[in-house]
Amino acid sequence: MTDSAPVFFLSYARTPGAQGSDADRPVFSFFNELSEQVARLTDVAAVNAGYVDHPDTPSYSWLSALAACRVFVPLYAPRYFTDPLCGRQWSAFKRRIGPDYGRAMVPVLWIPASQGTTLPMAALDIPAHLPREDGDGDQYAQDRYAESGLYQLMEMEEDDQRVYREALGRLAQRIARSWADSPARPVSIEKLTDRRGLEDAFAPQPSKPTLRITVLAPTISRLPPGREAASYGADTESWRPYRTAPGTLTQQAFALARNLGFEPELVTFEKACEGNAHDCSAQEPVRPIAPSVLVVDAWVLGDLRIAEEVRHIFQANRPWLAVLAVLAEDDPQTLRDEVRLRSLLEKTLSRHRHRRGVSHTARGTAARGIRTADAFAWLFAELVKSCYLRYLDSIQDVAARPSSARSHGVRRPTSD
C-alpha cells in the first residue's frame, strides 16, 4: 500500500437537494471520529486512515481512493441501496477484490430499513451486525444498534451515547483487522473501470428466460442389458457420456444454458412427455411453457416403452423443443455397438417429418448422434437459440420481435 492510500473508503448516500451537504454533516462527523480511532489502531497518519466523498469532489478522486484502499465501509440506509453512485462504488470495489470481497467490507447500520424491506441481493452476504465482544453489555449494545442504527445513537444522549461510543470502537477494530487481513492491492483507475464501465450493484436485474432441460439416460440400478456402468450413477444427472469432458452432461448443459443467457431448469422425462407428446385428440393448440431440450442416450432406446414415448414426442413436432442424441466416440462400448445404436435412433426418429430431408441441418445432425463434447456444445447452442425464437413465435399473436429476443444475441433461424 502506498503512503497516501486510505485504510478504508466510506461509502454513503448523499442527501439530495441544495441543503444536502449540511444534512450530511453527521456522516462527516462520524467519518472523522472513525478515522481517528482507525489511525490509532493501524498506526497510520489520521489523514490516511479513511476517505469520504464530498459533494464537490471530482469523480477521479473517489475512483483513486477506491483503487487503493483496503477496506470498504458502506453506510447502510434505505436510500443507500437506491443511490446509483453507491451501487457503482460497491461494484468497483467488488470487481477489484474478486470473490473474497466480503472479507474487506465492514458495513455500518446507519439507518435501519423499514419493516418489511430486505437487503438487495448484492448485500445479502454482507450483514451489518455489530462485531461482538465479551462483556455484560454486549447484548444490550447489539440490540440498541440493530433497533436504532448508528445515526440515531449518535444524536442521542447518556446511554445511547455510550452505546454509540462502544459501537464506534468495535467498528474501528473490525476495520483494522480487515485492513491487516485484506487481499486488496492497489490498481489503476483504468483497470478498476475498464470497458465494461461501472454497473449499479443494487439495480434490479432483468429476469432470464427459462430453458427446460430433460436428460434421458440409464442409471446404475437400471442399466440396459449388457451395458457397462462406467458412464452412469445413481440418477440420470450423474450420466457422463463424454469421458474426456469435465463434469456430467447435466452440468455441461446447465453451464452452456447460463452462458447463453438462460436460467436452466431440470425437468424429468415424465414431465416433459406431459407437455410435448403428440395428442391426436387435442382440440386446442398447445401453449408451450418454455423452450426445451431433450438429451437422449441412444442406449435407453433399447427399451421399447421408452422408445415409443420418445417417438411420440418427435411426432408432436414441437418447434420450441430440440432433441440431441448422444453417441460418444470416446466410450469403447458405444463404439463397438455403434451400428445397433444408430439403428435404434433411426427407428425411433423415422416417423419424425423433420428427420428426413434435413440431415445436414443442426436438428438432423443432433438426431443422428453426437460423437464429441465439442460438437454437443455447438449443437446445443444453435438449437437452443432457434427453439427460443420459435417459442416466442408460439406464445404471441403478433409478428413483431420483442426486445428480449435481441438481447440474447439470437436471430430468426431459416433452417436448423
- pLDDT category, 194, cuts 50, 70, 90? low
Per the listing, cell 444408430 goes with: 342
Query: Is the overall model pTM greater than 0.85, yes or no?
Result: no
Distance CA(305)–CA(307), nearest Å, equals 5
10, 71 contact by CB (below 8 A): no
Residue with more model confidence, 304 or 121: 304
Helix (H) or strand (E) holding 395: helix 373-395
Distance CA 98, CA 94 (A): 6
More confident residue, 317 or 196: 317
3 state DSSP class of 52: strand
Q: What are phi and psi of 51, to 5 degrees?
A: -135, 135
Residue 293 above 90 pLDDT? Answer: yes
| Secondary element (H or E) of residue 379 | helix 373-395
Residue 274 pLDDT greater than 90, yes or no: no
Burial group, residue 204, by CB count within 10 angstroms (0-12, 13-18, 19+): exposed
pLDDT at 398 over 70: no
pLDDT in tens, 241-256: 998 888 899 999 999 9
pLDDT above 90: residue 136 = no
User: Which residue do the cell numbers 502506498 mark?
Assistant: 2
What's the mean per-residue pLDDT of the chain?
A: 83
Is residue 264 over pLDDT 70? yes
Give the model's pLDDT for residue 16: 80
Residue 103, helix vs strand vs coil: helix
List, for residues 298-318, the tens digit of each pLDDT value: 999 999 999 999 988 877 878
Task: Determine the pLDDT at residue 185.
Answer: 77
| Contacting residues for 402 by C-beta, under 8 A, at least 6 apart | 392, 396
Looking at the predicted structure, is the pLDDT value of residue 414 above 50?
Answer: no
Confidence of residue 126 (pLDDT cuts 50, 70, 90): confident
Higher pLDDT, 250 or 183: 250
Lowest mean pLDDT among 49-53, 162-166, 295-299: 162-166
Residues 6+ apart with CB under 8 A from 329: 335, 371, 372
Do the Cβ atoms of 72 and 31 come closer than 8 Å?
A: no
